[in-house]
Amino acid sequence: MQFKGTEKYIATSALQIAVNAAIHLEKPLLVKGEPGTGKTLLAHELAKALDKKIITWHIKSTTTAQQGLYEYDAVARLRDSQLGDRDVTDIEQYIKRGKLWEAFQQDESVILLIDEIDKADIEFPNDLLLELDKMEFYVYELQKTIKATKRPIVIITSNNEKELPDAFLRRCLFHYISFPDSKTMKDIVDVHFPDIEEQLVGEALRVFYSMREINGMKKKPSTSELIDWIRLLIWEKKDYDALKELDVKFQNPPYLESLLKNEQDVELLQDFQKYYGKR
């Protein structure tokens, strides 16, 4: 079982090794990196490459670890006991299975994506230590232990909004997806737009990287913005000439709104241009 990237996903050799190590060592892989560098996509593409099912658990600020395991609906059981609808001695029907349980009971090993783990409460990762380590948990209501038949491959993404506890980190392999250099970026563009003109890519990347070089951006445009932007360029049939002479020091690139996502950054670009315009 070796991951080499897919047709639509260029994985650097470092990322490939990290993924393969995670698979062989049966450890969760924690992936960090700038927003838009393909952290979540990695899990989906890994599932495609290995031809496995993917189970996604999106974490929100209100998510608790228990929700990933199971939820016991006591009220429904109480109601049924009054109305006599169902057999209330069968507790199992009032237990709602969470994503981890779902992943554990698959016949084949699956990819379990725990997306944006840093969104949850600061203690959240600590509550999952044993579950991710031993791949089992105990259900009090049923008095039985749920154990993974086949260990799922766990991919965890984080945007670094909160630091994760050491005990949790200790159990993970770590990979930081650094921003792609222009050569890798060209490969990425090529897999998304196989028919694109060579020159257009060159110019688009030049403009894109010069945008990223402006200091003080709150959110630098990243891979996903670049892909959207090029899609717009192609859709509007902009060609190489439209970008050839373009210098972000003096003028805005077309479809600026797809590259810069907040008004402070647009303002910053304007200030930047004013500064160069005066000289």
Partner 1 sequence: MFFEFLYQLRGQGIPASLHEYLNLMDALSKNVIQPDVNEFYVLSRAIFVKSENQLDAFDRVFDAWFKEKMKLPPINLLNAFNPEWLKKNLLHGLSPEEKKAIEEFGDFDALMDRLKELLKEQNEEHNKGNKWIGTGGTSPFGSGGYNPKGHRLGNKSAGNRTAVKVWENRTFKNLSGNTEINTRNIKVALKYLRHFSREGLPTELNLDKTIDKTSQNAGMLDIVMQPSKKNKVKVLMLMDVGGSMDDHIAVCEQLFSAAKYEFKHLEFFYFHNCIYEHVWPDNRLRWTKRIPTIELMHKFGKDYKFIIVGDAAMSPYELYFKGGGIDQNNEIPGIHWMQMLSKHFKHFIWLNPIPETNWNFFETVDILRKFTNYRMFPTTINGLIAGMKCLKNPKKSYKKDIWGDF
Q: Give the nearer residue to partner 1 in terms of CB position, either 166 or 245.
A: 166
Q: Which two tokens stand for residue 214?
A: 């402006």
CB of 68 to partner 1, least distance (A): 19
SS3 2: coil
**What is the smallest separation between the CB atom of 171 and partner 1, expressed in angstroms?**
9
Strands 111-115 and 153-158: parallel
Least distance to partner 1, CB of residue 82, Å: 5
In angstroms, give the least distance from the CB of 263 to partner 1.
Answer: 19
Residue with Cβ nearer partner 1 (13 or 89): 13
In sequence order, what are the beta bridge partners of 176?
A: 32
> Helix, strand, or coil here: 145?
strand
List contacts with partner 1 (CB under 8 A). 13-14, 17-18, 20-22, 24-25, 27, 29-30, 32, 74-75, 78-79, 81-82, 122, 160, 162-163, 165-166, 169-170, 172-176, 178
Taking the complex as a whole, the smallest distance from the CB of residue 23 to partner 1 amounts, in Å, to 8
CB of 194 to partner 1, least distance (A): 26
In the 3-class helix/strand/coil scheme, how is 95-123 assigned residue by residue? EEECHHHHHHCCCCCCEEEEECHHHCCCC
Looking at the Cβ atoms of 122 and 142, the one nearer to partner 1 is 122
Taking phi first (over 0 means left), then psi (-120 to 50 degrees means alpha), and beta for anything else, what does residue 143 get?
A: left
Our separate counts of H helices and E strands in the chain read: 13, 9
By C-beta, is 123 or 136 nearer to partner 1?
Answer: 123
Please state the closest distance from residue 141 (CB atom) to partner 1, in A: 14
Contact present, 35 and 197 (Cβ < 8 Å): no
> Is the separation of the CB atoms in 213 and 276 below 8 Å?
no
Nearer to partner 1, 157 or 258 (CB): 157
Contact 98, 71 (CB under 8 A): yes
Q: Give me the sign of the Cα torsion angle 34, 40, 45, 46.
A: positive
Our CB check for partner 1 shows the closer of 62 and 143 to be 62
**82 vs 89, beta carbon nearer partner 1:** 82
Residue type, 141: E
46-58 exposure pattern, b = at least 16 Cβ within 10 A, e = fewer: bbebbebebbbbe
